[in-house]
Amino acid sequence: VSTVLDCLEVFAKAGEDAHRVRRIDSGAPHCACESQQVSQYQETPVEPDEYLVRIVFDPTHITKENGGTRLNSATFSDAKSFGSPCIRRGISDSEEYKRTIEAILKNSPTASDGTARTVHGVIIVPVSEIRKMTYEIKDNHSTAQHQAFAAYATGESDRPAHAEIMVALGNMSNSKADRLAINFSKSMNNNFVDTTEFLDFDLSPYVRK
Amino acid sequence: MALQLYSSNLLSHTVEQFVPTFLPSGGSKRYFKIGNGDHPVSAPADKGTGDPKIIPLPSSGSRTFQRALATLRKLRSLSKGWDGYRAAPADPGSFEDAEKFLGCISNGSFNVSANIHAEGHAVIELERYSIKAHFRFLGDGKIAAIIDLPNDEWDDDLHGFDGATLPRVVAERLGLRG
């Protein structure tokens, strides 16, 4: 895959179900579309010097234990199936943050325990960090390093700064893909920013009262 | 559904005993057989025989275990879009397997937590000393398993979990005899 048109097609045909990431990886192996346009609503691919913002919801993405909280394994579990949705920090505006958060909360306003879902904070993900993560595949003769994650500019009609992080699946097993997503979550713990410290957008209307 | 967990330590029994209590998945009656110390993780699959001897899910005394079970029962009601509009609804078969799996490891004194994967699968995480494990239940007895010991990472996709006996590799790596 080397043309803009092919990548648009790969993503347009990827669907919305849990095989979305696998279809994209099959159509564009080895993150081949990362530097291409993949959405008709966003021409500019995600650049290596960008930062992506992942909204962290309480209680969906956090586990409370020992008096504190930590990101749980659900946080980036969608990276191997649907793609982990993020917002491109450099090109988004307040309205897009608002639309994104309110759309998510409107779609699923309560958690499984019946409490209201709220915003707990954000994870600021450096794209350079995403793209330098690798995994090894060994055979009898050699060991090859492969890029583990890709970041795509999957802008939508009302959210042009929308982006997704996806596992570069290759032929990896479910358990290997889970390990990658879990390790990614762990590596992002230090990139968590509390609602009060995030200055790009006022998150206070969405926090737990 | 209210949790029905007995506090007796069934590992102390020297013969197999059957005590009424745990109904996995909150549905029809199922049966766990808790053996003596030689068979700490073994239980027969429900053959639908109507055997009235319902088997307890033993309480290991672990509060996290009970919390995990309660969490599973909450999460299994999640519908499509629980995390963004794409997230898949909870998979009933996956959650049933996860509860049965909990029954198999309940005597292991693990710190246990439960969660849901974006694909709607139940997830159980275990931790004890330096053992860390993550199990995603893919349905139909399939498990994406990760068990990390100090300096020894292992993962594999397992098939054929019958709901009654831990896969041997899991039991061995967790330090449980299967």
pLDDT in tens, A41-50: 999 999 999 9
Q: Which residue has the tokens 């239980």?
A: B43
pLDDT tens digits along B130-145: 899 999 999 999 999 9
- pLDDT at site B57: 52
Nearest to A45 by CA among A35, A54, A30: A35
B22 to chain A, minimum CA–CA distance in Å? 21
Q: What is the DSSP letter of B16?
A: -
B86 touches chain A (CB under 8 A): yes
Distances (CA, A) of A18 to A71, A97, B60: 22, 25, 36
Which of A77, A120, A166, A185 would you mutate first to test chain B, the one with the most B CBs within 10 A? A77
Query: Is the Cβ–Cβ distance between B30 and B24 less than 8 Å?
Result: yes
Q: Which residue has the higher pLDDT, B118 or A69?
A: B118
A32 to chain B, minimum CA–CA distance in Å? 24
Q: How far apart are the C-alpha atoms of A182 and A186, rounded to whole Å? A: 6
What tokens does A103 get? 């759309």
pLDDT tens digits along B14-64: 222 222 234 444 433 333 333 333 333 333 334 344 444 444 454 544 778
Q: Which residues of B touch A74 (CB under 8 A)?
A: 83, 115-118, 123
Query: Does the structure show a pLDDT above 70 at A198?
Result: yes
What's the rounded mean pLDDT across residues A116-128?
Answer: 94
Which of B83, B115, B157 would you mutate first to test chain A, the one with the most A CBs within 10 A? B83
Q: Which residues of B touch A176 (CB under 8 A)?
A: 155
Cβ atoms within 10 A of the Cβ of B76, count? 23
Cβ atoms within 10 A of the Cβ of B124, count? 25
B123 touches chain A (CB under 8 A): yes
B140 touches chain A (CB under 8 A): no
Q: How far apart are the C-alpha atoms of B36 and A199, rounded to whole Å? A: 59
B163 to chain A, minimum CA–CA distance in Å? 19
Q: What is the DSSP letter of B23?
A: -
Sheet order of strands, A149-152 included: A149-152, A162-167, A84-88, A51-58, A118-126, A192-194
A35 to chain B, minimum CA–CA distance in Å? 25
Q: Which residues of A touch B159 (CB under 8 A)?
A: none
What 3-state DSSP class applies to B168? Answer: helix
| Residue type at A144 in one-letter notation | A
- pLDDT at site A72: 86
Query: Does the structure show a pLDDT above 70 at B89?
Result: yes
Query: Does the structure show a pLDDT above 70 at A105?
Result: yes
Q: Which residue has the tokens 């639309």?
A: A99
Distances (CA, A) of B92 to A151, A191, B27, B99, B166: 32, 34, 11, 11, 20
What 3-state DSSP class applies to A60? Answer: coil
- pLDDT at site A13: 95
Q: Which residues of B touch A77 (CB under 8 A)?
A: 117-119, 123
**Inter-chain CB proximity B123 and A63 less than 8 Å:** no
Pairing verdict, β A143-147 and A192-194:
unpaired
Query: Taking chain B, what is the end-to-end CA distance rounded to the nearest angstrom?
Result: 30
Query: Is the Cβ–Cβ distance between B157 and A175 less than 8 Å?
Result: yes
Q: What is the DSSP letter of A189?
A: G
A111 to chain B, minimum CA–CA distance in Å? 8
What's the rounded mean pLDDT across residues B97-125?
Answer: 91
Q: How far apart are the C-alpha atoms of B119 and A17, rounded to whole Å? A: 9
Query: Is the Cβ–Cβ distance between B33 and B44 less than 8 Å?
Result: yes
Query: Is the Cβ–Cβ distance between A191 and A123 less than 8 Å?
Result: yes
Q: Which residues pair with A116 in a beta bridge?
A: A110
Task: Name which of A18, A60, A65 is nearest B119 (Cβ-Cβ).
Answer: A18
Q: Is A82 exposed, middle or buried (0-12, 13-18, 19+ CB in 10 A)?
A: buried
pLDDT tens digits along A188-197: 989 999 999 9
Q: Which residues pair with A143 in a beta bridge?
A: A138
Q: Which residues pair with B156 in a beta bridge?
A: B145
User: Which conformational region is residue A143 in: left (phi greater than 0), alpha (psi within -120 to 50 degrees), or beta?
Assistant: beta
Share of chain A above pLDDT 90, in %: 70
Query: Does the structure show a pLDDT above 80 at B98?
Result: yes
Q: Which residues of A touch B123 (CB under 8 A)?
A: 73-74, 77
Task: Name which of A17, A85, A175 is nearest B84 (Cβ-Cβ).
Answer: A85
